[in-house]
Amino acid sequence: MSVTEKTEIEEIEFVGPGPYKRIQARYVKIEEKNGVEINRMIYHRILEPGILDENNNLIDTDLSNEDNELKQLASSSWTDEVKENWRQKLIEDLNT
């Protein structure tokens, strides 16, 4: 009578206004007991290109523990231009 769980990405999409390329991933976590599903949980995560340091430099989001599909999507869509737009947005947010 063992309980196992697995988590999979169900959907990935870009969200939010502007050219910022925030990535939303929809996950499903499934628990099974003896091969029979006993619980299902759905949750979302939003990944952003980075955060600001104390000097308003952008520190890239650490993707090392993310699924390969998310890593590939982020690396192909978070170009230098997108990262700079995101950095400017974060600075503007600080000043409002």
State residue 19's pLDDT score: 79
| pLDDT band for position 91 (cuts 50, 70, 90) | very high
State residue 96's pLDDT score: 85
Selection from 25, 24, 22, 21 nearest residue 10 by Cα:
25
State residue 17's pLDDT score: 76
What is this structure's pTM?
0.80
Structural domain boundaries in the chain: 3-94
The token duo for 81 is: 């231009």
pLDDT at 16 over 90: no
Across 47-72, average pLDDT = 95
Selection from 14, 6, 94, 9 nearest residue 56 by Cα:
94
